[in-house]
Amino acid sequence: MSVLIRSVGVHIPERRITNDELGKMVDTTDEWIRSHTGIGARHIAADGMLTSDLGADAAKKALAKAGVSPKELDFILVATATSDYLGFPSTACIIQDKIGAHGCAAFDITAGCTGFIYGLEIASNMLSARRGHHALVIGAETLTRVTDWTDRSTCVLFGDGAGAVVLSNIEEGGRGVLKTILGADGGGALDLYLKQAERPKSFERAPAQVPSIVMNGKNVYNFAVKSITVLIERIMHLSMYRLEDFAWIVPHQANARIVQAAAKRLGIPEERFYMNMEEYANTSAASIPIVLGEMEDKGLLKRGDLIMLLGFGAGLTFGGSVIRW
């Protein structure tokens, strides 16, 4: 039995903000943002649209492509750092209702920008353990709702979007999710976090506060370059594949400079890494499925291709997956 990615669905909000437009809001320029991050634009969820709306739309598209009905789903797993509600209910439950998948299990996971890789590993293990036939793994984010739009060092980095995959347990050896490595370094938790009102120490309520992203850019940069480097080396070691065996390496789309630095360190040509952060910026847990959807639309993913997915993000977390398409 294999756990296959049967299909990918993507939701990209229509509203697009270029670097030049951002330059009218904070003291920044297109030249600075492009040269430091490779980002040229970001898409922003329409007023009133929630993370669950983006995720539900991506999910419906993935289900339609796979020819799987929502009623056939065994569970829905949503990786997000920007759930509709803080704490509960899970965004997965809200999406379950929005797509009409009533009754199946639904839960969120929190692993920052590595959330999709964590989700893929959890879901494929649940399916392999014969706990069902079909699952949805969704990465969905509305990061621009928790962005501090006065902080030029972070507000230029993020965008909104969602990507969903249908995973199916199928009688076909050799394809699907072959190997995954997950890890974390909680010592770096405060290098990237959502600052919120301090939890009350008594029953008296503190005034509500909109959470916003706080980041130590240099620490995150160093961690991200190291994560890509170490993950590739460990995947090579564990899987016994050679780099030449991989059709594509798909990194989390945080920043082109991070990918370029890791590629240089490993002596891998940059063209082997697929990047689209120029158009969408960093969409956290949604970035990898958004890339997969784009690559599929462009006909870049062929049946039997070996690809490597690499995630790194808040936690700090990291994870890599080897997939035979």
Which residues in this chain contact ligand ACO in the complex, by CB under 6 A? 28, 32-33, 36-37, 113, 152-153, 156-157, 192, 215, 217-218, 220-221, 224, 252, 254-255, 257, 282, 312-313
Query: ∠ CA 131-134-139 to the nearest 5 degrees?
Result: 110
CB of 263 to ligand ACO, least distance (A): 15
Look up residue 268 and give its two tokens.
Answer: 């891998």
155 is a catalytic site residue: no
252 is a catalytic site residue: yes
Q: Which is nearer to ligand ACO, 132 or 319 (by Cβ)?
A: 319
CB of 218 to ligand ACO, least distance (A): 5
In this structure, the number of other CB atoms found within 10 A of the CB of residue 73 comes to: 25
CB of 215 to ligand ACO, least distance (A): 6
Residues 44 and 11: beta-carbon distance below 8 Å: no
CB of 314 to ligand ACO, least distance (A): 7
Which three-class secondary structure state does DSSP give residue 284? Answer: helix
Q: Which is nearer to ligand ACO, 214 or 306 (by Cβ)?
A: 214
Q: Which is nearer to ligand ACO, 104 or 310 (by Cβ)?
A: 310
CB of 95 to ligand ACO, least distance (A): 23
Which residue of this chain has its Cβ atom nearest to ligand ACO in the complex?
217
Q: Which is nearer to ligand ACO, 2 or 37 (by Cβ)?
A: 37
Q: Which is nearer to ligand ACO, 40 or 89 (by Cβ)?
A: 40
102 is a catalytic site residue: no
Annotated catalytic residue: which of 113, 155, 169, 255? 113
Question: Known catalytic residues?
Answer: 113, 252, 282
